[in-house]
């Protein structure tokens, strides 16, 4: 019995995830690029904090 159904969790976001991943790969800027900056800003806003840092 699986504890978490990961597929069900990301299913509503799948197409957007694919698009974002393609953007990053096409740009070649996956370290400190504009998509990382946008992710960090959105994460900080969502969490209600001043700063957020994306890490692998």
> 3-52 pLDDT, tens per residue?
888 889 999 999 999 999 999 899 988 888 898 899 999 999 999 999 99
Could you tell me the pTM of the whole model? Answer: 0.66
User: Checking phi first, is residue 29 left (phi over 0); if not, alpha (psi -120 to 50) or beta?
Assistant: beta
Residue 19 near residue 35, CB atoms below 8 Å: no
Domain definitions of the chain by residue range: 6-47
pLDDT of res. 30:
81
Q: At 50, give phi and psi (nearest 5°).
A: -70, -40
Residue 23 near residue 15, CB atoms below 8 Å: no
Residue 19 near residue 13, CB atoms below 8 Å: no
Tokens of 44: 């900080």
């Amino acid at each position: 019995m699986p504890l978490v159904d990961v597929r069900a969790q990301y299913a509503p976001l799948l197409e957007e995830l694919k698009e974002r991943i393609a953007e990053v790969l096409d740009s070649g800027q996956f370290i400190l690029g504009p998509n990382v900056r946008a992710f960090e800003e959105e994460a900080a806003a969502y969490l209600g904090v001043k700063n957020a840092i994306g890490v692998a």
